[in-house]
Amino acid sequence: MRLIKKILVISLVFSLVLFITCNDRDDPVIDNTINDGSTNPVSYSLTMTASEGGTVTPKSGTYSENDSLELLGIPDSTYVFVNWTGSISSTDNPLSVTMDANKSINGNFAKKQYNLIINVDGEGTVSEEIISTGRVEDYDVGTLVKLTANPSDGWDFVKWTGEFVSYKNEIEISINKGISLTAEFTNLQNDFQYEKSRLLDGFGIIWGIEMLDSNRLIFTEKTGQIYLLDVFGTHLIYKFSESELNSYFQGGLLDIKAHPNFSNNGLVYVCYTKGTEINSDENNLIISQFQLKEYKVENFQQLFETSSLSSRNVHIGSRMTFDGDFLYFTIGEGSQSQGGLGTQYDNAQNLDNDWGKIHRIYDNGSIPQSNPIFTENNAASIFSIGHRNPQGLTFNPYTDEILSS
């Protein structure tokens, strides 16, 4: 009996201890671990690099798992984006990526490249020499190339045509776009052939004529009209009012000249006199520019005006010629030819006025800094002095000479 009691007491004590122990426990622990066994959020590193010629975004850094990023390759002005390499291979730009692992991505850029197309008209060859940078399949942008036109025996080089016109057989061009040029050669054994026909009749004094292309010419009538002649006939395209132009005596609408790059910019230049009143002896000489669009004159603007008036409406000069972007024009003495330096009619030698000079400006009317300086205060456009009434002016592109008569 005593043994049974001991067993009951021991059992009771063990049960009590077990009950107390169970009641003293904390609440059960919730498992916060994720796949890699860490209790922290997962993050991945992104390393971004770029080749020469551009930059990339975003910057290198650490991003959370499943973050969506947009990669952007930004090329410099003379480069193009090529592709992404490294952890990702793609030509898309921009490109969306998801951060599901560590990534190392490089943005690749390459120099812009353009074709240089050379044609030959006649018999001859063209040699090409790269002066700076290299040539791949096409020319890299910014490449400087020297072209030399070499005529065959019995032939002579005439000029380059196409993207621009040049009369020098050796030229240097900078490749910044696709360029097509033709080297023209002429056969020295052939006789010069021409046909004569009457194009115009029934007009007043035609003072200036300019060929625009093989099918069109533009000309001025001294009383203030500008005409265009083409295969369809003669078209009046502009008429000056009496307040704009004084055609009295030797004044009026005089020379007309197309810009050397007329085929691309449509620019035409005119020279004319504007009086203080109708039939006035006192005039300003004006150079203006306009754009010819089919049969319309647009964007008419004045580029130059003499700073003083002529003393008589004679000896106006008024011929124009181009040398590249330089516009040369003549102005007669604008007075009687009865004097000289220090006399009443000394305009040709007097550096205080524009008359009796050959002037040079840029095609937009601005003044070249390279113009000669005669005195501290002479007009900046003056290029040559001492001219009575120069009515002939031309540029020899083979010798780089300006000829006046």
Tell me the pLDDT tens digit for each residue of 129-180. 887 654 444 777 888 889 999 999 999 999 999 888 889 999 998 888 888 9
Q: Is the pLDDT of residue 226 over 50?
A: yes
Are 124 and 152 in contact by the 8 Å Cβ rule? The answer is: yes
User: Does 99 fall in a domain?
Assistant: yes
Q: Within this chain, do residues 263 and 341 fall inside the same structural domain, yes or no?
A: yes
Q: Within this chain, do residues 339 and 245 fall inside the same structural domain, yes or no?
A: yes
Instruction: Indicate the pTM of the whole model.
Output: 0.68
First to last CA, the chain: 155
Reported as half-sphere exposure (CB side, CA atoms, 13 A), residue 229 has a value of: 14
Are 48 and 29 in contact by the 8 Å Cβ rule? The answer is: no
User: Does 369 fall in a domain?
Assistant: yes
Amino acid at 247: S
DSSP-based three-state secondary structure for 264? helix
User: Does 288 fall in a domain?
Assistant: yes
Last residue of a domain, one of 152, 187, 222: 187
User: Does 5 fall in a domain?
Assistant: no
Q: How many domains does the chain have?
A: 3
- Partners of 186 in beta bridges: 156
Last residue of a domain, one of 88, 111, 134: 111
Q: Is the pLDDT of residue 397 over 80?
A: yes
Average model confidence (pLDDT) across the chain: 87
What is the DSSP code (8-state) at residue 363? T
Q: Within this chain, do residues 294 and 305 fall inside the same structural domain, yes or no?
A: yes
Backbone angles phi, psi at 89, to 5 degrees: -120, 115
CA gap 394, 167 in Å, rounded: 15
Q: Which residue has the higher pLDDT, 122 or 78?
A: 122
Backbone angles phi, psi at 6, to 5 degrees: -60, -40
- Partners of 403 in beta bridges: 394
User: Does 309 fall in a domain?
Assistant: yes
Among residues of the chain, what percentage have pLDDT more than 70? 87
Are 327 and 348 in contact by the 8 Å Cβ rule? The answer is: no
Q: Within this chain, do residues 330 and 222 fall inside the same structural domain, yes or no?
A: yes
In this structure, are strands 54-57 and 139-140 parallel, antiparallel, or unpaired? unpaired
Q: Within this chain, do residues 246 and 375 fall inside the same structural domain, yes or no?
A: yes
Q: Quick check: bond before 58 cis, omega within 30?
A: yes
Q: Within this chain, do residues 232 and 333 fall inside the same structural domain, yes or no?
A: yes
Among residues of the chain, what percentage have pLDDT more than 90? 62
User: Does 351 fall in a domain?
Assistant: yes
Q: Is the pLDDT of residue 13 over 50?
A: no
Amino acid at 344: Q
In this predicted model, what pLDDT tens digit does every residue of 174-222 receive, in sequence order?
Answer: 888 888 999 999 999 988 888 898 989 999 999 999 999 989 999 999 9
Backbone angles phi, psi at 9, to 5 degrees: -65, -45
Q: Within this chain, do residues 86 and 227 fall inside the same structural domain, yes or no?
A: no
User: Does 356 fall in a domain?
Assistant: yes
Residue 184, classified by CB atoms within 10 Å of its CB into exposed (0-12), middle (13-18) or buried (19+), is: middle
Q: Is the pLDDT of residue 10 over 60?
A: no
DSSP-based three-state secondary structure for 10? helix
pLDDT of residue 105: 96
Q: Within this chain, do residues 213 and 332 fall inside the same structural domain, yes or no?
A: yes
Q: Within this chain, do residues 67 and 122 fall inside the same structural domain, yes or no?
A: no
Q: Within this chain, do residues 181 and 247 fall inside the same structural domain, yes or no?
A: no
User: Helices in 24-104 by DSSP H: which ranges?
Assistant: none
User: Does 349 fall in a domain?
Assistant: yes
Helix (H) / strand (E) element for 55: namely: strand 54-57
CA gap 162, 120 in Å, rounded: 11
Q: Within this chain, do residues 178 and 218 fall inside the same structural domain, yes or no?
A: no
Q: Within this chain, do residues 234 and 334 fall inside the same structural domain, yes or no?
A: yes
Are 267 and 282 in contact by the 8 Å Cβ rule? The answer is: no
CATH code of the domain covering residue 351: 2.120.10.30
Are 122 and 155 in contact by the 8 Å Cβ rule? The answer is: yes
Task: Identify the domain containing residue 316 by its residue range.
Answer: 206-404
Last residue of a domain, one of 59, 80, 111: 111
